[in-house]
Amino acid sequence: MSESKRVAVVTGSNRGLGKAIARGIAKTGAHVVVTARTEEAAARAADELCAQGLSASSHQLDVADPASVARAMADVGYQYGRLDILVNNAGIAIDRGQAAASADIEKVRSTLDTNILGTWRCCTAAIPEMRKNGYGRIVNVTSHMGTFGEMGTGSVSYRVSKVGINALTCILAAELKNDGILVNAASPGKVDTRMAYGKATQTPDEASETFVWLATLPSDGPTGGLFFQRKSLDW
**Higher model confidence: residue 222 or residue 139?**
139
Please give the positions annotated as active site: 158
Is pLDDT at 174 greater than 70 in this prediction?
yes
Could you read off the pLDDT of 116-173 as tens digits, one per residue? 999 999 999 999 999 999 999 999 999 877 676 667 776 788 899 999 999 999 999 9
**232: confidence class by pLDDT, cuts 50, 70, 90:** very low
SS (H, E, C) the chain: CCCCCCEEEECCCCCHHHHHHHHHHHHCCCEEEEEECCHHHHHHHHHHHHHCCCCEEEEECCCCCHHHHHHHHHHHHHHHCCCCEEEECCCCCCCCCCCHHHCCHHHHHHHHHHHHHHHHHHHHHHHHHHHHHCCEEEEEECCHHHCHHHCCCCCHHHHHHHHHHHHHHHHHHHHHCCCCEEEEEECCCCECCHHHCCCCCECHHHHHHHHHHHHCCCCCCCCCCCEECCCCCCC
Backbone angles phi, psi at 152, to 5 degrees: -160, -160
**102: confidence class by pLDDT, cuts 50, 70, 90:** confident
Burial zone of 153 (CB within 10 Å; 0-12 exposed, 13-18 middle, 19+ buried): exposed
Report, at the CATH architecture level, how domain 7-228 is classified.
3-Layer(aba) Sandwich (3.40)
Q: Check: CB of residue 115 under 8 Å from CB of residue 169.
A: no
Distance between CA atoms of residues 184 and 168, nearest Å: 10
* pLDDT value at residue 155: 78
Smallest Cα–Cα separation from 155: which of 184, 197, 207?
197
- Residue-averaged pLDDT of the chain: 88
**200: confidence class by pLDDT, cuts 50, 70, 90:** low
* pLDDT value at residue 224: 56
- What is the arithmetic mean of pLDDT over 84-99? 91
Could you read off the pLDDT of 8-50 as tens digits, one per residue? 999 999 999 999 999 999 999 999 999 999 999 999 999 999 9
Q: What are the domain boundaries of the chain?
A: 7-228
